[in-house]
Structure 1
Amino acid sequence: MYINTISHYFPSQVIGNEYFTQLNNLSTEWIAERTGIYERRKAGEGENTSTMAIAAVDLLLENIPYSKNEIDLIVGATYTPYDTIVTLAHAVQHHIQIPDIPVLSLSTACSSFLNAIEIVEGYFAMGKASKALVVVSDHNTAYYNEMDTVSGHLWGDGASALLISKERQTATDMVIKKLITGGAATSGKAVEAVVLRPNDKGVVMPFGRDVFQNACVYMPKVSQQVLQACGLTIDDLDYLIPHQANHRISLNVINTLGIPVEKLISNIQYLGNTGSAGCAIALSENRDKFKKGENIVITVFGGGYSYGAMLITI
């Protein structure tokens, strides 16, 4: 599979750590030390998961290498939907006006991005599609409790969009070499560590330490697996983009893998935890720095303890 082009969108409203100092007495230094976050983006009035996704798609279509009418599959990924009936993917289909193609949305917490691409892989393998639009968007601040001193200061909003084709379209396509995903809901406190129950009180994280510990096990493990499956080693890796949940987790992952910090790509410092959109946004933000032949691993870990890794070669 090939990533033909990629885009990202995040809201203009910036929320610094000082906001939470005034709100619930958490100091800027305390938040930064424990999370790596200094500021985050928050959707403004009239913005939601679907509108952010559409904004990312509009940016994507400015650089599309073929007619948009050749898109024959749309997959949306989010765990913070604006509408659970008119899903993210259907809102995007309505916006770009491509009728009568497969359209679906999925949620596997912060792993939703890679699972969406895996859905595309399946459609391609079955011959049901050849050019897919993947849209990932999370509006975390619509669901969070900002007064929560455990996780209220973590969240940010944003979206990303990608065009993925079965066959190469341009010389600058990024190649998806391997994708591995899994579920570890049998581990630790997977089904209670971090939850979003709309009928209750939004996002809560009663067992953050368990999330941290399991993320630090599964992300390096699956990163090694995806490299080994392609006959590569850590020495062949040029960049790692981990799920943007906590900068201390990212540092722990590269330490476990023996990767220098120069190979770590991170945006949590200025975007916060943008959920399943975080890695896609980071890939888009850094697209121009990547050089031909470089290997990039994206690795994710989400609530319910879903996990995965994808190897991309430029």
Structure 2
Amino acid sequence: MTVRSVIAGTGSALPARRVSNAELTETVDTTDEWIVERTGIRFRHIAAPEETTATLGADAARKAIAAAGLEPSDIGLIVLATATPDQTFPSSATKVQALLGIQDAVAFDIGAVCSGFLYAMGVADSMIRTGTAKHALVIGSETFSRILDWEDRTTCVLFGDGAGAVVLSAEKDSERGILSSSLHADGGHGELLYVDGGPSTTGTVGKLRMKGREVFRHAVTNLASVMGIALEQAEVDASEVDWVVPHQANIRILEATAKKLGLPIERVVVTVAEHANTSAASVPLALDTAIRDGRIKRGQLLVLEAMGGGFTWGATVVRY
């Protein structure tokens, strides 16, 4: 008997405020043409003071639980991926737990920046298969607007806020579910994408810093490689993939990665124009968007992939 973690439901949440490139040009020295040509981004959502990583995560979680046909009390595990927690502690996962009214569950945060959701999926999958929980809530939620330097036009135009969530449920001998997960990290490149603060160093939150050209080069190479590894582990060929659901960092990265794999861009879920880079939230946001608009259908083969600061990167093959 084999236990698999099956995606039972998905959900997402975006802050109410939607900011266009044109609006950004009123305060940032940039243009709509410059942003679109280099990134493909046209809009991003920015959290209001009362909207936090935990509240957005809870909103996405409620939708995922409802889509799975479950109640919050059915959830036994909450893994929340974020680089922008509400507080140093308690974890944002426990805050989501309280907002959902769940009395008892395993709940914790995980930090792998843009790859965080895939790391969280891998951890939850392992815990489900060992019997820790029957139903797990995996969330990617970020309020990156809180750590942006709004005078740095090379970074502040790239990011947005949002949350995405999936419910993973244990199913015996199912053909669906997570087929493979390949996760990696190389701390030798930490200076290319980082936040210049933290409790143990500066005692401040800090601001995001990035060397974009170097990050781009590593992203294309690492993502194409890790997707190949994950597909090989799942014993499926790239030609069998129905949809790639990638981290939404930059349209050029998405196009270059698809080309390296020999996949048409039409089989890549692209939401970067509307959401910008929402870090750990970007993969579940894109996944929920494509499921709800009917592009992704039950039984289709998906590859989820991401790379983030650290560097961390990974890919997960899922039969939806």
Is TM-score (shorter-chain normalized) higher than 0.5? yes
Quick one: distance in 1 between partners of 2:261 and 2:214? 20
The alpha carbon displacement at 1:63 in A equals 2.8
Letter in 1 for 2:179: K
Q: Which runs of 5+ in 1 are unaligned?
A: none
Which residue, out of 201, 209, 217, partners 1:204? 209
Quick one: distance in 1 between partners of 2:187 and 2:18? 34
Letter in 2 for 1:273: N
Letter in 1 for 2:178: I
- Per-residue CA deviations over 1:222-256 (Å, capped at 9, x if unaligned) read 11111111221111111111211111111110111
Letter in 2 for 1:181: L
Secondary structure of the equivalent of 1:177? strand
- Per-residue CA deviations over 1:118-175 (Å, capped at 9, x if unaligned) read 1112212332222111121000101111221211111111001211112169x9x962
Quick one: distance in 2 between partners of 1:71 and 1:201? 34
Query: Structure 1 residues 282-291 or 95-104, which shifts more?
Result: 95-104
Which residue, out of 176, 183, 193, partners 2:185? 183
2:160 matched residue in structure 1? 156
2:64 matched residue in structure 1? 60
Letter in 1 for 2:193: V
How do 1:18-167 residues align onto structure 2 when only pairs under 5 Å count? 18-167=22-171
1:240 matched residue in structure 2? 244
Secondary structure of the equivalent of 1:110? helix
Secondary structure of the equivalent of 1:80? coil
1:192 matched residue in structure 2? 191
TM-score (ref. length: structure 2): 0.91
Quick one: distance in 2 between partners of 1:96 and 1:40? 27
Secondary structure of the equivalent of 2:165? strand
2:314 matched residue in structure 1? 308
Letter in 1 for 2:187: A
Letter in 1 for 2:74: E
Q: How many residues align?
A: 308
Conserved 8 A contact 2:19-2:44:
yes
Q: Do residues 298 (structure 1) and 300 (structure 2) align? A: no
TM-align CA RMSD? 1.8
Quick one: distance in 2 between partners of 1:266 and 1:222? 19
Q: Does the C-alpha gap of structure 1 residues 65 and 308 become closer, same or farther in structure 2, counting only changes over 3 Å?
A: same
Secondary structure of the equivalent of 2:25? helix
How do 1:242-257 residues align onto structure 2 when only pairs under 5 Å count? 242-257=246-261
Query: Structure 1 residues 235-244 or 211-220, which shifts more?
Result: 235-244
Q: Does the C-alpha gap of structure 1 residues 112 and 241 become closer, same or farther in structure 2, counting only changes over 3 Å?
A: same
Question: What percent identity do the matched residue pairs reach?
Answer: 28
Letter in 1 for 2:252: R
Quick one: distance in 2 between partners of 1:291 and 1:126? 28
Quick one: distance in 2 between partners of 1:165 and 1:136? 17
Secondary structure of the equivalent of 1:256? helix
How do 1:205-224 residues align onto structure 2 when only pairs under 5 Å count? 205=210, 207-224=211-228
Q: Which runs of 5+ in 2 are unaligned?
A: 199-203
2:283 matched residue in structure 1? 279
Letter in 2 for 1:193: L
- Per-residue CA deviations over 1:92-137 (Å, capped at 9, x if unaligned) read 1112222232111111111110111111122123322221111210
TM-score (ref. length: structure 1): 0.93
Conserved 8 A contact 2:10-2:68:
no
Quick one: distance in 2 between partners of 1:135 and 1:45? 21
Letter in 2 for 1:23: T
Q: Does the C-alpha gap of structure 1 residues 164 and 293 become closer, same or farther in structure 2, counting only changes over 3 Å?
A: closer
In the TM superposition, structure 1's runs of 4+ consecutive aligned residues that sit over 6 Å from their partners are: none
Quick one: distance in 2 between partners of 1:200 and 1:165? 36
Letter in 1 for 2:209: V
